[in-house]
Amino acid sequence: MCCPIFSGVMFFNRWMSSWARASEDLFTDRNEINSETLSQAIRAAASEEPDADGSVLFGQLQGTVVGLRYYTGVVNQGEMVGLVREPQNPYDRNAVMVANIYGNQVGHIKRELAAAMAYVMDNKLAKVEGVVHYGTKNKFNMPVMLSFWGKEENKNTVVESMLRRGYKLNTGGIKSAEAFLCFQLKNAFDNLFEGLMESKDGEKEAAKSVATPLLLHQKQALSWMCSRENKCTLPPFWEKRGDLYYNTLTHFSAREVPERVRGGILADDMGLGKTLTTIALILTNFHNGKPLPVEMSVSVNNMKQCKFWARVDKYLKTDLLHLLIPCLNDCLLLLSSVNLQDQFEQHVHANVKLNVYLYYGSERNRSKKFLSSQDVVITTYNVLSADFEVSRGSPLHGIHWLRVVLDEGHTIRNPNAQMSKAVLQLKAQRRWILSGTPIQNSVKDLWTLLAFLRLKPFDVREWWNRVIQRPAMQGDRAGLQNLQTLVKCITLRRTKTSEVNGRPLVSLPEKMVCVEQVELNQQEREEYELARNEGRSTIGRYVAEGTVLRNYADVLAILMRLRQHCCHPDLLAKISSDLGAAATPAELRERLVEKLRLVLASGSDEECSVCLDSVCLPVITHCAHVYCRPCIAKVISTQQGTARCPLCRSDIKETELVEVPLEEMEDESSTHAKKWRTSSKVQALMGNLLRLQSEDRSIKCLVVSQFTRFLSILETPLREHGFSFVRLDGTMSQKKRAQVIQDFQSSAANSPSIMLLSLKAGGVGLNLTAASHVFLMDPAWNPATEEQCIDRCHRLGQKRKVVVTKFIVKDSVEENMVRIQRKKQDLVEKAFGSANTDKKTSRIDDIKALLEL
DNA sequence: ACCGCCGGGTGCC
DNA sequence: ACCGCCGGGTGCC
């Protein structure tokens, strides 16, 4: 097995001097480059560090570190040391190297002991950790207390294998974490981000180039962010002792100042203006506390301007740039990236010209020189990781940025994800994470964030695990306390309900939600009842047979048809027939694709039963159940040839998983071809729109549906009545979206007054504050989706009272859906945490309720 | 490094 | 003199 940390250190030792020599960058001091190189090397190496979850202490053993006089690494009394296998050592393939926190080698473990440890370490039976309690001044060797940690089931193997080689693990006096501490732990997590909003550093005015006036709490955030970038405060747990810098947790000390973290986590609630504050930071705190020098398009003497630019270019074309990475793991969030650009236009003074480049799309300019000439480069996590995987020559990784800002930073919480690895490799002087939800489930999620911020020594996983994660997970009070301190130092978090000087941070205009009942006309009602009775008898049969889950896709298809009836008859254009009737494989495939599309469009099964999270890369099995491709692939590979569908136990094969072909995602042609007709719901909407228009022509509306084909149908009457409208759905390209949003947000007299919005395109970060009225054409299964959509306009920047109208067809499946929505919300509120104990059963109950069975 | 180990010098007491 | 003992050279893995 190779030994990554070791090679990393070697790399550093060999190249350190040349790095230092080469570093003549005006804006970066030497230490920064050096430690950057080292930590990068170590970080890349340490990414294989296993999780410390559920580790128990097997026992301890006094060992010896030898060969001290050959190495420069020193340790303090009580200091933690790392033990790294060194199988390539020419003298002993069992060698175990001892290194301090900075990766400097201290010595080796004595040969015989190393041989015993090598077996345990190489077979991953235990993780061995060392602490030096005394003898740190010794010349030739020193004692080290070794602790063996691992999974309970490996304990005996480890103890016995060490004993066979004459090393007895001392297992006495080990106290295991008490169960009741779990409760405490949960509390501690919940409170981790509490109390972070106490006033930090007063407030700061934004540079003149910021067009939008900052609110008080935003000025406070700006002040905090500037001071995080400019002040030379030591990172948490470091203190100066004599002429040394000492880490109180690891007991490591160094002569050099520990690299400070220029940045942090801005974890304000959604809607408090994190983006605006960040834009203000970019423009206000460029270098040495000076604002970003940007071109003013006011007419100046030409010559003078040229000279000015020559100077500015010198700043900007070096390698000091901003890289903004908005969240982009599905099409909903794509919008947030475009929106970001929109926000630059909105919040930056019109006279100021800022070069903002959107780095995505196949035509993106990969030239390092070009990218370096921009003031701001915006890209997505996907693009970044795609570039990173393709080759070492990823343009974004070749640039030393002034700032890297991660929007929706919690996307990188999984350290094993390619995206996270790509993000961690970015080179930057200042690093920021914007996130509305910093810790979702556990302390584990924090590691990548701290690693990104380069918070020493926790950017190396081992030290994070030993000092913070494991103690915290095991309910150790000091561990939790340290975690809290750590987070507190680098995070600013305010909630919507936080107060400044006794007043709420933001006051949004009032929001009114009303339900408008729609009555079907006689013909619609007859058609609806026909479909309902048919569906009822089919589902009733499934319930009686106990085969609801096996026929889940069918059930959803029935519900789907009923929901479509409620909106418009033309939505039912395609009716999928029974799977069993498929004659050829091609036909079967076609039907499965159709069902998958129905399931996805219905929005009913947003979660994969394997990961219990939203389905990503959806595939459908031959038994018509939908999963994330990676999840079901894992199930299939672990069950080796005898794989069964987790929901219905039918045989499944990897080769039989079907996904929706990309080009098939939407076909509009069929609907356009038919002669247009109206429906009760369409008329209800049009009545509202016409009334509003007559009351106030400046009012803008969002018309939201889950069915993009319904949006298409709505285009006809809107055109007929002369409304100016735009449309935004998931199928549109980034550029098109940006254009549409810009048009809609414009306050020009001839700007569109209506946006047709597909529910799923209304993702986080999308800003549609120009609208003050929202029409939800059809109920969603998940009320949170609706809320999220409403929040696109009921957010900071909204000047008017927001009115939301939900159309619900009377005596229909829609009414029942609303009932179930409420029930689910109650359930979540009442029994928090135990809500997903029996999801499947509750889903069957839901289906019964929907059809009044 | 005030140890252990190695190997050459040496050899009654 | 195929041992023991002495004392100098030496020293991580």
In which residue ranges of chain A is pLDDT below 70? 1-50, 52, 173-201, 287-338, 340-341, 391-392, 437-442, 573-583, 598-609, 611-614, 648, 661-674, 762-765, 824-843, 852-853
3.10.129.10, 3.30.40.10, 3.50.50.60, 2.40.110.10: which CATH number matches A521-664?
3.30.40.10
A69 touches strand B (CB under 7 A): yes
- The CA–C1' separation of A65 and C11, in angstroms, is 14
Q: By three-state DSSP, how is residue A19 classified? A: helix
CA–CA distance, A646 with A551 (Å, rounded to integer) = 13
Residue nearest to nucleotide C12 (CA to C1'): A67
The alpha carbon torsion through A169, A174, A176, A178 (nearest 10 deg) reads 170
CA–CA distance, A752 with A151 (Å, rounded to integer) = 62
CA–CA distance, A42 with A10 (Å, rounded to integer) = 10
- The CA–C1' separation of A72 and B2, in angstroms, is 25
Strand B, nucleotides covered by protein (CB < 7 Å): 1
**Per-residue DSSP letters for A216-261?**
HHHHHHHHHHHHHHH--PPPTTEEEETTEEEETTT--EESSPPPP-
Nearest nucleotide by C1' position to the A67 CA atom: C12
A530 — phi, psi (to 5°)?
-60, -50
- Using a 7 Å CB cutoff, list residues 111-140 of A near strand C: 111, 114
Element at A84 (helix H, strand E): strand A79-85
Q: By three-state DSSP, how is residue A201 classified? A: coil
Nearest nucleotide by C1' position to the A94 CA atom: C13
CA–CA distance, A780 with A790 (Å, rounded to integer) = 13
- The CA–C1' separation of A520 and B5, in angstroms, is 100
Count Cα atoms within 13 angstroms, Cβ side, for A752.
Answer: 21
- The CA–C1' separation of A99 and B6, in angstroms, is 31
Q: What's the CATH fold of domain A677-835?
A: Rossmann fold (3.40.50)
Q: What is the largest CA-CA distance in chain A?
A: 97
A4 touches strand C (CB under 7 A): no
A94 touches strand C (CB under 7 A): yes
Strand partners, A223: none
Token pair for residue A466? Answer: 């030993």
Q: What's the CATH fold of domain A50-164?
A: Alpha-Beta Plaits (3.30.70)
Residue written as token pair 């690895």:
A421
- The CA–C1' separation of A96 and C10, in angstroms, is 24
Note the residue count of chain A: 853
A68 touches strand C (CB under 7 A): no
A105 touches strand C (CB under 7 A): no
Nearest nucleotide by C1' position to the A68 CA atom: C12
Residue written as token pair 């949006």:
A711
- The CA–C1' separation of A141 and B4, in angstroms, is 14
A140 touches strand B (CB under 7 A): yes
The pLDDT value recorded for residue A187 is 52
- Residue spans per domain, chain A: 50-164, 192-504, 521-664, 677-835
Give the tens place of pLDDT for each residue, A472-525: 877 788 888 888 888 888 999 887 777 777 777 777 889 999 999 999 999 999
Token pair for residue A251? Answer: 């007991």
Q: By three-state DSSP, how is residue A369 classified? A: helix
A89 touches strand C (CB under 7 A): yes
Closest CA to A591 of A577, A602, A601: A577
Residue nearest to nucleotide B3 (CA to C1'): A140
Give the tens place of pLDDT for each residue, A787-823: 888 988 988 778 899 999 999 999 999 998 888 777 7
A137 touches strand B (CB under 7 A): no
A454-A459-A460 Cα angle (round to 5): 150
Nearest nucleotide by C1' position to the A95 CA atom: C13
- The CA–C1' separation of A741 and C1, in angstroms, is 102
Beta strands in A643-760 (DSSP E): 701-705, 725-728, 754-758
- The CA–C1' separation of A142 and B3, in angstroms, is 14
Closest CA to A136 of A111, A110, A100, A112: A100
- The CA–C1' separation of A844 and B13, in angstroms, is 105
SS3 per residue for A536-589: HHHHHHHHHHCCCCCCHHHHHHHHHHHHHHHHCHHHHCCCCCCHHHCCCHHHHH
CA–CA distance, A338 with A463 (Å, rounded to integer) = 38
Parallel, antiparallel, or unpaired: how do β-strands A356-359 and A376-379 relate? parallel
A806 — phi, psi (to 5°)?
-105, 120
- The CA–C1' separation of A8 and B1, in angstroms, is 33
The pLDDT value recorded for residue A5 is 32
Strand partners, A195: none
Overall CATH class of domain A192-504: alpha beta
CB-CB contact of A84 with A99 (8 Å): yes
Nearest nucleotide by C1' position to the A141 CA atom: C12
CA–CA distance, A559 with A531 (Å, rounded to integer) = 10
Q: In what side-by-side order are the strands of the sheet with A754-758?
A: A511-518, A802-809, A773-776, A701-705, A754-758, A725-728
- The CA–C1' separation of A88 and C10, in angstroms, is 26
Nearest nucleotide by C1' position to the A69 CA atom: C12
Tell me how crowded residue A837 is: count the other CB atoms within 10 A of its CB: 9
Tell me how crowded residue A234 is: count the other CB atoms within 10 A of its CB: 16
Domains A192-504 and A677-835 share a fold: yes
Closest CA to A406 of A442, A441, A430: A430
With 0-12 CB in 10 A as exposed, 13-18 as middle and 19+ as buried, what is A767?
Answer: buried
Sequence-distant (6+) residues with CB within 8 A of A7 are: A41, A45
Nearest nucleotide by C1' position to the A86 CA atom: C13
Give the tens place of pLDDT for each residue, A688-735: 999 999 999 999 999 999 888 899 999 999 999 999 999 998 777 777
**Helix, strand, coil abundance in chain A, percent, nearest 5:** 45, 15, 40
Strand C, nucleotides covered by protein (CB < 7 Å): 12-13
The pLDDT value recorded for residue A736 is 82
- The CA–C1' separation of A60 and B4, in angstroms, is 26
Sequence-distant (6+) residues with CB within 8 A of A516 are: A684, A688, A805, A806, A807, A808
CB-CB contact of A301 with A316 (8 Å): no
Sequence-distant (6+) residues with CB within 8 A of A546 are: none
A70 touches strand B (CB under 7 A): no
CB-CB contact of A613 with A601 (8 Å): no
Q: By three-state DSSP, how is residue A413 classified? A: coil
Give the tens place of pLDDT for each residue, A138-158: 999 999 999 999 999 999 999
- The CA–C1' separation of A444 and B9, in angstroms, is 66
- The CA–C1' separation of A112 and C4, in angstroms, is 29
Nearest nucleotide by C1' position to the A139 CA atom: B1
* A198-207 long-range contacts, CB within 8 A, separation 24+: A199/A500, A200/A224, A200/A227, A200/A492, A201/A227, A204/A284, A206/A280, A206/A283, A206/A284, A207/A280, A207/A283, A207/A284, A207/A291, A207/A292
- The CA–C1' separation of A166 and C5, in angstroms, is 32
CA–CA distance, A161 with A150 (Å, rounded to integer) = 14
